[in-house]
Amino acid sequence: MTSKAPDREGTAEQRAAELKKLTQWKDRLEKDRTTLLGMPEFQRVMSDIIARSGMFQSVMTGNSMTYHKAGRQDFGREIWADLAKVDIDAAHELLKPPQR
């Protein structure tokens, strides 16, 4: 006697409902990014995070620290790219040196 494996994907209605939830979440996240990019405080914080990621610095150290630095750069670029999808001009402003 063989038993049929349970359907891990769910019904078509369940998949459609999950897709709708995911789409709504992504839309909300994009709206949140747009709202936050309009706030000078958020821009200052993000500019600092991006600068500390070392996006524009060499990662070469001659040892395994190179991989750590490369990972930090990648994460900084990922953050910046997410913000650039919402507002490219505001994202470019984050790359400018801070005014003191």
Q: What is the pLDDT of residue 19?
A: 94
Q: What is the pLDDT of residue 71?
A: 95
Answer yes or no: are the C-beta atoms of 79 and 53 closer than 8 Å: yes
pLDDT tens, per residue, the chain with 100 residues: 555 555 566 788 899 999 999 999 999 999 999 999 999 999 989 999 999 999 989 999 999 999 999 999 999 999 999 999 988 998 998 888 777 6
Count of beta carbons in the 10 Å neighbourhood of residue 13: 8
Q: What is the pLDDT of residue 100?
A: 67
CA distance 38 to 75: 22
Which pTM was predicted? 0.70
The structure tokens listed for 73 are 């750069």
